Amino acid sequence: RMAPKALKDFTGQEHLVGPGKMLRRLVESGRLSSALFYGPPGTGKTAMARLVAGLSKATTVELNAVVAGVAELKKVLETAKFDRAAKGQRTLLLLDEIHHFNRTQQDTLLPAVERGEVILVGLTTENPSFYVNAALLSRFTAFEFKPLGPEALSGLLDRALAARQRGLGEACAD
């Protein structure tokens, strides 16, 4: 419930979303192309991906590579291709745990990413150089998410405790 709804609400990762930083500029301008968010768990990769999706005008599809197969992936890509051609509607595919896809599964994504039929945002806790094939990796802009420091964690807790509607503010006011 405390997930950020705007870039100003995003905590940490100043090297990516601070004033004038690349990811911030891409999101604010609506020009984010396929991207890879990687780093340790709990650093905000999924929160940022969902924030990007919420701010985009694209149809958003979320898949987890642990459970998604090639058939499901092909269906999403076919729909994205149709929507782009028939309606001019872009599709943003959030693919969590992309490192779980094998080479064949990753290769399935390549043509749609190359043709711009889908904007792919891959999320992984692993080093993409070892787990994402080179052809797909070369079509991404990679963003490394770093562990949150004490100040960022403290700020998150303070905001959760104070927020009346989405946080614990009502419960703590008693």
Model confidence band, residue 166 (pLDDT cutoffs 50, 70, 90)? low
- For the beta carbon of residue 110, count every other beta carbon within 10 angstroms: 15
* pLDDT the model gives residue 12: 84
Could you report the per-residue pLDDT of 44-74, keeping only the tens digit for each? Answer: 999 999 999 988 889 999 999 999 988 999 9
What is the SS3 string spanning 109-150?
HHHHHHCCCCEEEEEECCCHHHHCCHHHHCCCEEEECCCCCH
* pLDDT the model gives residue 104: 87
* pLDDT the model gives residue 155: 72
168 pLDDT more than 60: no
Could you report the per-residue pLDDT of 74-119, keeping only the tens digit for each? Answer: 999 999 999 999 999 999 999 999 999 998 889 999 999 999 899 9
What's the average model confidence in pLDDT over 143-154? 85
DSSP state of 142: E
Q: What is the dihedral of CA 28, 33, 36, 42, to 10 degrees?
A: 30
- Averaged pLDDT score across all residues of the chain: 88
159 pLDDT more than 90: no
* pLDDT the model gives residue 171: 58
**Sheet hosting strand 141-144, strand order edge to edge:** 59-64, 91-96, 119-124, 35-38, 141-144
What is the spatial distance between Cα 172 and Cα 93, in angstroms, rounded to a whole number? 38
Model confidence band, residue 163 (pLDDT cutoffs 50, 70, 90)? low
The two tokens of residue 128 are 């993409």
Contacts of residue 44, defined as CB under 8 A and 6 or more positions apart, other chains included, come to: 10, 11, 12, 13, 145, 148
- Per cent of the chain over pLDDT 90 is 64
The two tokens of residue 153 are 């964690």
- For the beta carbon of residue 172, count every other beta carbon within 10 angstroms: 12
